[in-house]
Chain A
Amino acid sequence: MVHKVLAEQVAGGMNTTAIRIRESGIERRARFRGLAEPLSLLAALVVLIGVFSLFNERFLTASNLQNVLTQSAIPLIVAVGATLVILLGSIDLSVEGVMGATGMTWILLSANSRGGADLGPWAWVIALGVALVLGVASGLIFTALKVPSFIVTLGMWYIGLGIATMLYGTDLLPRLEDEALSGWTSRITLGLPNSFWVALLVIGLGILVLRSTRIGRVTLAIGNSETIVRSAGLPAFRVKVAVFAIAAVLSGLGGILATVQLDIGSPTVGSGVLFIVIPAVVIGGTHLGGGKGGILRTVLGVFLLTILNNGLILSGVESSYQSAVTGVILVAAIVFAAWSQRDRLRVAK
């Protein structure tokens, strides 16, 4: 009898040891897994660059790389905001609408072929103000009326497009008439295109906000568990509105830069950006459920998609296949990320 109890105790002790060993193993693997995704993305980027430079010698020239950076600048700026929203566990579908509304407001208040007022720098302030209003409206409807962010921002997409179409009206299309500004985005300063410098600034600020401000920390916490955030008395409501406002202002900035790049004002200036930005965020490894991920990962995601599209075109692949390539990479990335965590009882929405 005594022996049996002793034996059980020993076995129990061994069990806890076994569990501890297993736990530390899981922890080690989790730490590795945290690094594995960005590292595999970097590896994929290097492989891609290698393969494309074999297919076409023009790929690795300085001018093409500057081209890639110009192409990635606007998606990068918009994606910083989208990452913050997705870290909340929400989604922002309104980017293309906000880009259209902001871009149209900006060009109509700048020197353009339709005439009208040229407000110079105030055009930027007013246009970004329009974006801010749209973002705050999304945030308030989302938090105060508890309408899911998917629907609010879907509606705001249409509202933004509507504002842009109304501003556009039935007049001739407004062309940018500012010598200093037209072509500014792709002009090179210190080896990098101007728009990419703006993107770098936005990325830097985004990382700073996420790592070292209350808004950033609470954003991550809301993504992990909003119930805990609320019971800890943290300002979930205000932070959510702020994040939607930041995202909209960044979309607006992207809209202005896209208008400068296009040289004309168009309500659909942002078309196609959403289909780069959200896949890029997800490929980067930010969870759609919120709480996990980061801005640098998103940057890798944007680069992966831009380099792929640029390289494929240079390799002579028809542009019809472009969206399929983005799609296949997106599906492969999420399957790769989720494969090790598969479990019969796991719930993935």
Chain B
Amino acid sequence: MTKTDNETTKIAVPTRRRLQAVKRIGGWHAIGPIVIFLVILLVVAILTPAFIGSGGLAIIASSSAPILLLALGQAMVLNVGSIDLSNAAIGLLGAILLALTLGPVAGLSPLIVLLATTAFGAVNGLILAYAQVPSFALTLGTLGIFQAAALVASNRTTVYVASNGESVRSLYESGIANVPMTFWMGVLLAVALWALLRYTRIGRGMTAIGKNESAAIFSAVRTRSLKVLAFALSGFAAGLAGIAIIAQAGSASPTGLGSDLLLPAIAAALIGGTSISGGVVNPLTVIFGALTVALVPIATTAVGIEAQAQSLVYGAVIIAVVALTMSRNKSSIVK
């Protein structure tokens, strides 16, 4: 009798300890994104060993850079319980503005673009916070405005960088460990945002808004300015994505590279463990969300699924991954 008791405790203690360890680093939705990325990567590695050997990881990382930057901004907005449907359009407008201004004002140009995109994001936030309108409808509206602005600014054609493009291009052409600087820029931003959320009053306040906005208001959290800040950060990240697009392509057009990043970026944020209803985010796992989104098309080809089925697999993966990693309880209401 005592023997069996001992045995069960022997088994139970390590599992409990392991569970506690998982809890300490933030639960299943914190390690889920990493595990999912590694599993898909493992499948690709087994089926096409040549891909991993020939710098495939670097290719995934470099193609995920604009998605990662946009996803980080999106994650900040999702964290305060809102959504920013306009950030990819802001990023593309930023890329077009950069291509237009890089010739005339050279080094100042990226700075101007970042200022402009941050301001665009902040305008979203200001209208949201002071007119108290739903973010989905508001940013859907501003999405249309930014899209039109991109069409008008580029005159519906591809804008090439006239001169002074070398400095921006070097962000893509130089790198650490064969991975371009544009990706490391995203990693750096992720670490900065993680520190902001973890260690500062501002970041804690943002998460509080996402968890329970009424409670945050009653606890004297400055909800309005923090929401504006979240949207401004999304605009800033979109500006960086615009720079990454120019670094990669050397040109920008309303229908070219970066014109359909909105949904992949949202998917990356969600696969990265961000809750769509707010209050749960980890910028560090969003990195793996973006890598997964960039890996899925490569993985489908590696597994031997025909190219036409790619978007089908993509859709199924989004649903499956979120269904697997989402934290939920039985009585909760999901909209």
Question: Are A and B co-members of a single complex?
Answer: yes
Q: A327-B145, A328-B145 are in contact. Are A146 and B326 (CB under 8 A)?
A: yes
Residues of B within 8 A of A158 (CB): 263, 311-312, 314-315, 318
User: Of the candidates B141, B278, B328, which one forms a contact with A146 in the assembled complex, judged by CB atoms under 8 Å apart?
Assistant: B328
Say what secondary structure dominates the interface of chain A.
helix
| Minimum Cβ distance to chain A for residue B149 (Å) | 7
* A149:B335 contact, CB within 8 angstroms: yes
* B318:A151 contact, CB within 8 angstroms: yes
A90–B335 alpha-carbon span in the complex (Å):
5
Interface status of B111 (Cβ within 8 A of chain A)? no
* A162:B310 contact, CB within 8 angstroms: yes
Residues of A within 8 A of B145 (CB): 323-324, 327-328, 331
Interface status of A226 (Cβ within 8 A of chain B)? yes
From A343, which residue of chain B is reached at the shortest CB distance? Answer: B132
Interface status of B219 (Cβ within 8 A of chain A)? no
User: Of the candidates A157, A165, A320, A335, which one forms a contact with B148 in the assembled complex, judged by CB atoms under 8 Å apart?
Assistant: A320
* B311:A168 contact, CB within 8 angstroms: no
From A345, which residue of chain B is reached at the shortest CB distance? Answer: B217
Residues of A within 8 A of B311 (CB): 158-159, 161-162, 165
A163–B312 alpha-carbon span in the complex (Å):
7
Please give the number of chain B residues whose Cβ is less than 8 angstroms from any Cβ of chain A in the complex: 57
From A144, which residue of chain B is reached at the shortest CB distance? Answer: B323
Most chain B C-beta atoms within 10 Å of own C-beta, residue among A146, A148, A348? A348
A316–B266 alpha-carbon span in the complex (Å):
36
| Minimum Cβ distance to chain A for residue B191 (Å) | 27
* A159:B144 contact, CB within 8 angstroms: no
From B275, which residue of chain A is reached at the shortest CB distance? Answer: A148
* A159:B315 contact, CB within 8 angstroms: yes
* A155:B315 contact, CB within 8 angstroms: yes
A344–B218 alpha-carbon span in the complex (Å):
11
Residues of A within 8 A of B308 (CB): 162, 165-166, 168-170
Residues of B within 8 A of A157 (CB): 263, 315
Interface status of A322 (Cβ within 8 A of chain B)? yes
A146–B275 alpha-carbon span in the complex (Å):
13
* B333:A91 contact, CB within 8 angstroms: no
A289–B81 alpha-carbon span in the complex (Å):
13
| Minimum Cβ distance to chain A for residue B285 (Å) | 17
Residues of B within 8 A of A155 (CB): 315-319
Interface status of B156 (Cβ within 8 A of chain A)? yes
Residues of A within 8 A of B138 (CB): 331, 334
- The contact string, 1 if C-beta is below 8 Å from chain B, for chain A 322-348, is 111111111100110011011111111
Interface status of A252 (Cβ within 8 A of chain B)? no
From B266, which residue of chain A is reached at the shortest CB distance? Answer: A154
Residues of B within 8 A of A338 (CB): 131-133
Residues of B within 8 A of A149 (CB): 334-335
Residues of A within 8 A of B217 (CB): 344-345, 347
Residues of B within 8 A of A148 (CB): 276-277, 322, 334-335
Which chain A residues (208-250) contact chain B, with CB distance < 8 Å?
A: 226-227
Most chain B C-beta atoms within 10 Å of own C-beta, residue among A97, A145, A156, A169? A145
Q: Which of the segments A111-119, A176-184, A199-207, A275-283 contacts the partner chain? A: A275-283
From A342, which residue of chain B is reached at the shortest CB distance? Answer: B132
User: Of the candidates A141, A159, A318, A346, which one forms a contact with B323 in the assembled complex, judged by CB atoms under 8 Å apart?
Assistant: A141
Interface status of A122 (Cβ within 8 A of chain B)? no
Interface status of B142 (Cβ within 8 A of chain A)? yes
From A148, which residue of chain B is reached at the shortest CB distance? Answer: B276
Interface status of B253 (Cβ within 8 A of chain A)? no
Which chain A residues (124-168) contact chain B, with CB distance < 8 Å?
A: 141-142, 145-152, 154-163, 165-166, 168
Residues of A within 8 A of B164 (CB): none
| Minimum Cβ distance to chain A for residue B259 (Å) | 13
- The contact string, 1 if C-beta is below 8 Å from chain A, for chain B 240-257, is 000000000000000000
Interface status of B302 (Cβ within 8 A of chain A)? no
* B148:A162 contact, CB within 8 angstroms: no
Q: A288-B134, A289-B134 are in contact. Are A166 and B312 (CB under 8 A)?
A: yes
Interface status of B303 (Cβ within 8 A of chain A)? no
From A329, which residue of chain B is reached at the shortest CB distance? Answer: B141
Which chain B residues (280-296) contact chain A, with CB distance < 8 Å?
A: none
Interface status of A321 (Cβ within 8 A of chain B)? yes
From B82, which residue of chain A is reached at the shortest CB distance? Answer: A349
Interface status of B143 (Cβ within 8 A of chain A)? yes
From B216, which residue of chain A is reached at the shortest CB distance? Answer: A347
A329–B148 alpha-carbon span in the complex (Å):
14
| Minimum Cβ distance to chain B for residue A293 (Å) | 13
Interface status of A290 (Cβ within 8 A of chain B)? yes
Query: Which 9 A-B pairs give the minimum distances between C-beta atoms?
Result: A162-B312, A327-B144, A158-B315, A324-B148, A330-B141, A155-B319, A159-B315, A323-B144, A331-B141
Residues in chain B within 8 A of chain A (CB atoms): 81-83, 127-128, 130-138, 140-145, 147-149, 151-152, 156, 213-214, 217, 263, 266-267, 270, 276-278, 306, 308-319, 322-323, 326, 328, 332-335
11 A-B pairs whose Cβ atoms sit less than 8 Å apart in the complex: A151-B322, A155-B316, A155-B317, A157-B315, A165-B311, A166-B308, A324-B149, A327-B142, A328-B145, A331-B141, A334-B141
Residues in chain A within 8 A of chain B (CB atoms): 88-91, 97, 141-142, 145-152, 154-163, 165-166, 168-170, 226-227, 275, 278-279, 282, 288-290, 318, 320-331, 334-335, 338-339, 341-349
Additional A-B contact list (9), CB under 8 Å, known A89-B335, A162-B308, A325-B148? A88-B335, A145-B323, A161-B312, A162-B309, A320-B152, A334-B133, A335-B127, A339-B131, A349-B278
